[in-house]
Structure 1
């Protein structure tokens, strides 16, 4: 993983961009409109956080997130069953 931190672009980044071997994840995308000041050119575009993953690393992270979500759903279902039993 390489965290590039804050980046700027005149083109709105995709949330996820895949290449043959890499996955680029953009988050916290914000429009930026800075006027020209003291001879410095202004900027109109986007600012965002950018992280690069190897494709296998990205797949592993997504699989772990899916497992976590499945566990949370199971816990919610158990809690709902317990509530229904108490109301029953």
Structure 2
């Protein structure tokens, strides 16, 4: 299973739980859970799916919660890797 598929599955599991709660708690509940328990790398992957792939496969409650989820800073590229990919 690819990393993107894992992120979709995990996010949708959280949304499934919050679908059983009052509708007013859904987006905030999903965002709070992801903000508390997902490391920046996972949140970065989630936003990559949303920003670059249209959020395909994500539950609508996850997409509704996205503006409430803390967006992590871009991943730092190790200096050796940055030098190898720099244009001559």
Indicate the TM-score class for this superposition, using the shorter chain for normalisation: under 0.3
Structure 2 length normalisation: TM-score? 0.25
Higher relative CO (Cα under 8 Å, sequence separation at least 6) belongs to: 2
Higher helix residue share? 2
* Higher Cα Rg, which structure: 1
More strand by share: 1
Q: TM-score, structure 1 length as denominator?
A: 0.25
